[in-house]
Amino acid sequence: MAEPRSCPYFHRTVEKRDGSSLLIKQCTSGDVGCVVWDAAIVISKYLETDCFYRNGEHIFLNKSVVEIGSGTGIVGIMAATLGANVTVTDLEELQDLLTRNIEENKHLITGSIEAKVLKWGEKKASGLGCPDYVLMADCIYYEESLEPLIETLKELVGPETCIICCYEERTMGINPQIQEAFFEILKLHFDVEKIPIEKHDEEYRSEDIHIFHMWKR
């Protein structure tokens, strides 16, 4: 695929447990979704920890996974390399980057993966129908998005869906209030379990990056 001169790429490499590496293109210009955020690395590596394996098999094998706010797509791509059938989603303007990154890593994918437009709060999520898992990394960061984001989660999940959410705690400006408001609204509809840091990947963990599992009540 020819690369437009207006948006040069720089790469992020993430080594997988099996020694292979994900290669993720990031854009030098564009909005926040154009680069890989630390929370995305932390959750990607968390998905490879022992607690996701049963009898040597990854629990994502043949399971349906939807990622929201995928940005570069790294988290969904990791899930697809672990055997899941994944839909990565984001705004229209991220679709080209998502498609390029899927293409870049297709030799590692053992499940399947496709990219779709999903804007939070727009009633399109039901088309993605009750996946086994929903993944989200660093999606809690601006006030106007909180209610639409939670609406989308409510619409997307079924009674058995497990949401795995990772975010970086930011202490500047109104970030603490945004994070607090998110969990306040969320807890009205979802049960939330915080994953202790000892269960995160030993190398890719940080005191200010949190992981939660959540289920619709």
Ligand X SMILES: C[S@@+](CC[C@H](N)C(=O)[O-])C[C@H]1O[C@@H](n2cnc3c(N)ncnc32)[C@H](O)[C@@H]1O
Are residues 209 and 168 in contact, defined by beta-carbon separation less than 8 angstroms?
yes
Nearer to ligand X, 57 or 127 (CB): 127
Residues touching ligand X, count (CB under 6 A): 21
Are residues 73 and 44 in contact, defined by beta-carbon separation less than 8 angstroms?
no
Query: At closest approach, how far in Å is the CB of 54 from ligand X?
Result: 27
Nearer to ligand X, 39 or 157 (CB): 39
Kind and range of the H or E run holding 150: helix 146-156
Residue 14 within binding range of ligand X, rule CB under 6 A? no
Dihedral angle computed from the Cα positions of residues 111, 114, 119 and 121, in that order, rounded to the nearest 10 degrees: -40
**21-60 positions binding ligand X, by CB under 6 A:** 32-33, 36-37, 39-40
**Cα–Cα distance, 92 to 105 (Å, whole number):** 21
Query: At closest approach, how far in Å is the CB of 46 from ligand X?
Result: 13
Which tokens go with 144? 């106007």
Query: At closest approach, how far in Å is the CB of 167 from ligand X?
Result: 9
Residue 168 within binding range of ligand X, rule CB under 6 A? no
Dihedral angle computed from the Cα positions of residues 172, 177, 182 and 187, in that order, rounded to the nearest 10 degrees: 130
**Cα–Cα distance, 131 to 128 (Å, whole number):** 7
In 3D space, the residue among 171, 164, 177 whose CA is nearest the CA of residue 212 turns out to be 164
Per-residue interface string for the shown chain with ligand X, residues 66-105, x marking contact by CB under 6 A: ---xxxx-----------------xx--x-----------
Residue 120 within binding range of ligand X, rule CB under 6 A? yes
Stretch that binds ligand X, among 3-11, 123-131, 141-149, 179-187 (CB under 6 A): 141-149
Which residues make up the interface to ligand X (CB under 6 A)? Answer: 32-33, 36-37, 39-40, 69-72, 90-91, 94, 119-120, 137-139, 141, 145, 148
